[in-house]
Amino acid sequence: MAVRSIFKPWRQWLNGTRPRILVWYFLLTAFSSVASILVTYHILYERIRDQSQEYISRQIQAFQQSVQQLPTKDALLPEQHSKALFDRFFAGYQPVDQDDYAIALTQGQIYRYTESFPQELLSQETALIQAWANLSRRTTGSVHTAIGELFYIAEPIVVNGQIQGVLVMVHCADSVYQVVDSALLLIIPATLGVMGIAAAIAWVTAGRVLSPLRTLTQTAQSITEVDMAQRMNVEGTDEIAQLATTFNAMLDRLQVAFESQQEFLKDAGHELRTPITVVRGYLETLQFQPERQEQKIALAIDELDRMNRLVNDLLLLAKAECPDFLNLKLEELDWLTEELYLKVRSMADRHWRLESKGLSPVRVDRQRLTQAVMNLVQNAIRHTQAGDTITLGSSVRKNQAHIWVSDTGEGISQKDQTRIFERFTRATTRQSQGENHGLGLSIVEAIAQAHGGWVELASVPGQGATFTIVIPLEATPGVIHAANFDHRRQSPHHRLSGVWTSGARLHDHQR
């Protein structure tokens, strides 16, 4: 157990991202360095062998040229002729360095060799020399001897069809091999030093690259139910920056959902307290006034119904922030306006007026938009009297769909216009007729914002108010203009019950 406790911190450290990056980077660098050294070492050795073979080949060619230039004397015996060839070659032979040798063999015996020829070969490699002396054709090869690896070419001398001697050109590559090996011994520690420096740079670089991830962890740990305002600083456009941006967007969504939930709980607790208290009072006094049982039960049920409508409105406002709040479909704005007008004009004894229709397809949630317009109409009904005018209309301007409801009621003061869309807010200058808990306009604004739009208010106290829902058409394909009636498959003139329309404009109709 003690051993495990000692190694546990090391295992945890090695499981970290930064050490793993460093380990893999070091292994990759080590593999690349070792592979490069081995490949370079092999290439240098092969080049040394090629240069050695090339050198002794040039020397043999020089010997062959001297053989062709030497005149043949009939008086000379074949053996004397071959020795004359050897003497002439050795007289002009100048080795490039001390590792180049030449040896001439006649009749299986050593005839002559260069001054730098190693004595170890003469004394210890007699079998090799004897093999050279007995060659009958040119032979090229390499052999490991007491003085190192030798590259040689043996050229027999043929006089009158008989082999009279052999000239062997030899090059020893050991000194060059030693230079390569010495260089390799210097490269290895230098490579280790470079790998150490590279590992340190990799450690620092990995720390800087992973720094946003540590900040991400710290930010996530610092977020609580009380404080959800912490965000990451986004720098650059790489994958880490995209992760930080996505994380911030997720926090924004969570904060909106959390605040919506908190606001719902606060509003529900505040507004439901009163009807619950009222219902409780009715039920508690019921035993003392049994003769009023039916009346008190009816009042309690009415209060519960109001509470139910309040809860439904609060739930709708809470759901307005959810992605699946809307079910968007392409709708014709003019047909939707006509349908809304037919629904609302029988809701109250008012002078109803359909002012205009916008000609364009719009991508909206038909039910939610109808709910928003109905809330505006009910708001207008509550704040107007019999005989007042309520106008409904729509239009398309600047790539935006406008749907409005206006009335000729008492209007809204400038002070109330800045807060009228807040939850549970009522205009102080408007006398409400019927039930109103102050959520209707909040619902209208939530539905408009869910469509990517907003609500505009224009009002002058004593002259009525106009509420306009504005929905952008950027995401709506194929905007239809008023003149393109063939594409719409309808006549430019059509009729509502009691209302004549012409083009996009509807004329007033007196009920």
Any domain includes 95: yes
Q: What is the pLDDT of residues 52-64, one digit of tens each?
A: 777 778 777 777 7
Q: Is the pLDDT of residue 470 over 90?
A: yes
Last residue of a domain, one of 140, 157, 178: 178
Calculate mean pLDDT across residues 114-128. Answer: 83
Q: Among all chains, which residue has been given the structure tokens 């040039």? A: 58
* pLDDT of the residue at 12: 58
Positive or negative: CA dihedral 66, 67, 71, 73: positive
Count of H-run helices and E-run strands, the chain: 13, 15
Does residue 422 share a domain with residue 284? no
pLDDT at 456: 92
| pLDDT tens column, 190-222 | 888 888 888 888 888 877 777 777 777 777 777
**Boundary of a domain, candidates 129, 151, 178:** 178
Find all residues with CB under 8 Å of 233, minimum gap 6, and list them: 215, 244
Q: Which of 130-144, 259-273, 304-318 holds the top average pLDDT?
A: 130-144
Per-residue model confidence (pLDDT) at position 62: 73
Q: Would 99 be classed as within a structural domain?
A: yes
Average pLDDT, the chain: 76
For residues 313 and 332, membership in a common domain is answered with: no
- Looking at per-residue pLDDT, the higher value among 406 and 307 belongs to 406
- Distance of alpha carbon 177 from alpha carbon 92, whole angstroms: 29
Query: What is the rounded distance in angstroms from the CA atom of residue 280 to the CA atom of residue 176?
Result: 108
pLDDT for residue 5: 54
- Contact, 271 vs 437, CB < 8 A? yes
pLDDT digits (tens, 9 = 90+) for 382-391: 888 888 999 9
pLDDT of the residue at 396: 93
pLDDT of 419 strictly over 80 = no
Mean pLDDT of 340-353: 89
121-159 burial string, b = 16+ CB within 10 Å, else e?
beeebeeebeebbeeeeeeeeeeebebebbbbbbbbbeb
Q: Are 450 and 325 in contact (CB under 8 A)?
A: yes
> Which of 269, 295, 319 is the endpoint of a domain?
319
pLDDT confidence of 453, banded at 50, 70, 90?
Answer: very high
Interval 136-154: pLDDT, tens: 888 888 888 878 888 888 8
Residues 40 and 156 in one domain: yes
pLDDT of residue 493: 32
Amino acid 421: pLDDT: 76
Q: Is residue 361 within 8 Å of residue 476, measured between CB atoms?
A: yes
Bridge partners (DSSP) of residue 143 are 150
Same structural domain, 363 and 393: yes
Co-location of 438 and 313 in the same domain? no
- What is the pLDDT confidence band of residue 72, given thresholds at 50, 70 and 90? low
pLDDT for res 183? 82
Most distant CA pair in the chain: distance in Å?
166
Which comes out higher in pLDDT, residue 71 or 261?
A: 261
Q: In what order do the strands lie in the sheet with 495-496?
A: 495-496, 499-502, 505-506
> In this structure, are 295 and 352 located in the same domain?
no
Return phi, psi of residue 151, to 5°.
-110, 135
- pLDDT greater at residue 506 or residue 60: 60
**Tally of structural domains, the chain:** 3
> 275 vs 105, which has greater pLDDT?
105
Mean pLDDT of 235-252: 78
Query: CA 110, CA 378: separation in Å to the nearest integer?
Result: 128
Clarify whether residues 333 and 470 are in a common domain: yes
Pair 311, 349 in one domain: no
Q: The domain containing residue 298 runs over which residues?
A: 239-319
At 11 the pLDDT is: 61
> In this model, does residue 124 exceed pLDDT 60?
yes
Q: Among 420, 400, 402, 403, which residue's Cα sits nearest to residue 411?
A: 420
My answer on whether 52 and 121 are in the same domain is yes
Instruction: Output the domain CATH number for residue 468.
Output: 3.30.565.10
Assign residue 271 the CATH number of its domain: 1.10.287
